[in-house]
Chain A
Amino acid sequence: MKLNVNGEDRDFDGDPNMPLLWVLRDHLNLSGTKFGCGIAQCGACTVHLDGKAARSCSVLAAEAQGMKITTIEGVNAGHRLLVAWVKHDVPQCGYCQSGQIMQAAALLDEKPKPTDADIDAAMSGNICRCGTYRRIKAAIKDAAGVA
């Protein structure tokens, strides 16, 4: 099958029931999308499907066919969220952060000027065991230009 990842058509001839997460990581060599829980509870594997945030551990390869898949590798180096993340020294262990950024990017696409409540609502599905939540929130607000 063909999967459109970060604007490129990629061939995948494995099990169509393989979760997209493992297709990306093991077969397309895109390891920025992380494995955390496997049951859509932690958000570490968040990607965009047609611009919406989705948990790639719980989407099958066959289901992602025909959709525009964007991973952290498809986020521009100068993206305002990446800049804000570094400015605020958000990451600690860093393992959840690509998922956090993909979730935050989807939020800003939908709500360019999010309130604190918007951020809590959008981001509370993404776990950070290091507890960087307040820095994530500050970085999102900084990137969005809201106080």
Chain B
Amino acid sequence: MSERKFGEGAQPSPVLTRRRLVLGGSLLGGALVVGYAATNFGAIAAGALSVGAADANPGVFGPFIKIDEAGWVTVVNRYQEMGQGTHAGLAAIVAEELDADWEMVRFESAPANAAVYRDVTMGIQGTGASHAIAGSWDQLRQAGAAARTMFVQAAARKWSLPIDSIGVRNGVVYHVASQRSATFVDLLADAAKVAPPEYPKLKDPKDYKLIGTEIVRRKDSQSKSNGTELYTQDVRLPGMLVAMVAHPSHFGGKLGSFDISAARKVPGVVDVFEIASGVAVVAKDTWSARLGRDALKISWDDAKAETRSSDELQALYREIAKGKTDVTGSAFQTKGKVDDAFDGELFEASFDFPYLANAPMEPMNCVASVDGRRVKLTFAAQIQTVDQINCALAAITLPGMVEIETLPAGGSFGRRGTLTSDYIVECVNIARHVGGGRPVKLVWTREDDMSSGYYRPMAHHKVSIKCDEDGLPTAWRHNIVSQAIVPFGANDLPTHGVKNSPYLSVASVVDARIFTPKLAVPPGLWRSVGNSQSAMVMEHTVDLLARRAKRDPAEYRRAIFTKVGDVRKLAVLDLVCKKAGWGSPLDAGWARGLAIHECFGTVVAQVAEVSVQGGNLRVRRVVCAVDCGIAIAPNQIAAQIEGGVCFGLGAALYGRITLDHGIPQETNFDAYRVLRMDEAPAVETHIVPSKKTPTGIGEPGVPPIAPAVANALLSLTGRPTSSLPFVI
């Protein structure tokens, strides 16, 4: 096969350069080793991870675009579609540069193959940090433009006309003067013979016909409304068994003695056996597996388990933040000389955050089969490369031998991005025991899901701030206590939103530290990660500082953003104030609260209208302003902001997982209260026009809502908030 380059340019894309080279000689009994030209370590690692994988076969238009004889343009989505609408934005980027007919554009999930489908920034195939659009912007524009050029060149040859006299619109290649035109289908065979251009010309944003318009809508609304969308829970394969697992009741608990005789007798139960994470019951259907599991008699060994309660842990965290334990702090931002910077009158505040479950609508599940060294997974994978590595370790094979068919997720909010691949490895362990390539569907109940950990970690923040005569911070001390979600390197995620905040930038002395306690409760990634806690701390603190200085909260922020030159935040702040009618009177009993936060490169400001009626907190309207760079899919940006507000508001009002002697108390929606329709505010989304590279939108809508509500409450009642949830 000839060497081809697709859409390389601003961002060198070794992903797209398909070359055969020897990476590790002949592994796996002579299996062909296909590697990829390596310009950096990520590419070498990605190539190594793909050893043994089926050839991704990029096709004539590269690995992200397929065009068929029926005229369908299929955009290959390497990210997890968990509701965030990424597929629509990615498809729009391709369709814009290709000048395709949007009605003939569809999408499909990419196979797991880090060499071809890794995120260029993360270095692995995975979805997180609201990065899908930002990570694809250059690559997909170039892929779309390259394909367009191939069609134009094919037409130019066929019609013997100069290339620059030929245009493309809605999937039709045309020449005005001669009134000639041809569809992509007409030119498909000829275009395939054209060498893809190395540096295709990209459109000037002023010529966009699709990007930024209401034409860009979801492609899956139909199948997700009429019940035909296939989720992991819906997978049925010939011979498939259904598994449930009895897990330890405590985190860090282990299997003690157990009696499986009664479980084995349950009709439909096929097998019962011990696995690393508990006792697995494998049955012919879900209900039999459930009855089989109910019939197990198990005593757990809790000798090394976490048996403390939430209030004990929260008290411990406060002591840690004061430096009174053997958990030492590690600096994440320091500036100036502390000396006497904190002498004199200080503003001090502290904040407690509970554990929170992600609780997506679809409880965790997975379908796996293991046949010798071949592992096949069919499920809503979020970080395919990590899952491949973890499953390869479990099944004693190579990551590339772990094939993943990625399905849409019935929500994730980070739960399916767990770095240990906990439930996926559990499913592989069961399928390995069953053996013979027989597929097994692991089903977790809601209770399994909510008591499984990987929670947003419990946290404590403590701030001590010195201000000047205008009330602006001059010295900022900040101690965070939070478990580490990523088990290696600095404990960075909880510092997001504090580190390099404009409020720290304006101070001349900064002393910010993170304390990392070790607990058996596994911490996880929760939509917006550290930002949902840090936004509450920073934005509520700033309102308290403004109040202390007798300044308007919007004006106070404006003064800081002006001083540090944060023009993006200034623009977002101005837009939200204008649209929310900041400063104008509200009806009696209602107050506005403001918050603004940058999360994964996107700035979101929210103004919430809040009232306390008969002891009930009501939020009726939330006005949002967003700067996410070039807005590709405005309708889906609005959808993510609406959803982010609801997700964050439900958590702020009610969300908590309480440990009682180590056991999670909220294990279903009766106790783990979430936002419901009668509590959902009207959300308005206003986008700041921008020419900058797009940034993400799946998570940034979440962080500002809790402090916006806290600030409105402060305005209503004069009382600060020092812990979440609001309603206990």
Contacts and interface: CB of A to CB of B under 8 A. Distances in A.
Interface in A39-57: 39, 41-42, 44
B362 A36 contact: yes
B225 A15 contact: no
Contacts of B645: 131
Contacts of A38: 445-446, 668
Nearest to B267: A15
Interface string B243-282: 0000000000000000000000001000000000000000
Nearest to A39: B668
Contacts of A33: 227
B308 interface: no
Contacts of B647: 129-131
A137 B227 contact: no
A143 to B, nearest CB: 12
B221 A73 contact: no
B445 A75 contact: no
B359 interface: yes
Contact of A130 (B83, B236, B288): B83
Interface stretch (B383-391, B474-482, B674-682): B674-682
Interface string B625-653: 00000000001100110111111001000
- Residue of A14, A129, A130 ringed by the most chain B CB atoms within 10 A: A129
Contacts of B635: 89
Nearest to B288: A15
Interface stretch (B63-71, B93-101, B409-417, B487-495): B409-417
Most buried by B among A29, A34, A92: A92
A3 interface: no
Given A22-B285, A22-B286, A71-B227, A37 B409 contact: no
Interface string B153-183: 0000000000000000000000000000000
15 contacts: A19-B287, A32-B226, A32-B228, A82-B226, A89-B635, A90-B221, A91-B224, A93-B362, A95-B360, A97-B224, A98-B226, A127-B674, A129-B674, A131-B643, A132-B643
Interface of B: 82-85, 217-218, 220-231, 233-234, 236, 242, 267, 285-288, 359-363, 408-413, 443, 445-446, 635-636, 639-640, 642-647, 650, 668-670, 674-678, 680, 682-683
Interface of A: 14-15, 18-19, 22, 25-27, 29, 31-39, 41-42, 44, 71-73, 75, 77, 82, 85-86, 89-98, 101, 119-121, 123-137
Given A15-B267, A26-B286, A129-B674, 20 more contacts: A14-B285, A26-B285, A29-B236, A31-B233, A36-B361, A37-B668, A42-B361, A75-B227, A85-B225, A86-B225, A89-B217, A91-B83, A93-B360, A93-B362, A95-B410, A124-B677, A124-B678, A125-B676, A129-B359, A132-B642
Closest 6 CB pairs of A and B: A32-B227, A131-B646, A94-B224, A95-B410, A93-B83, A92-B83
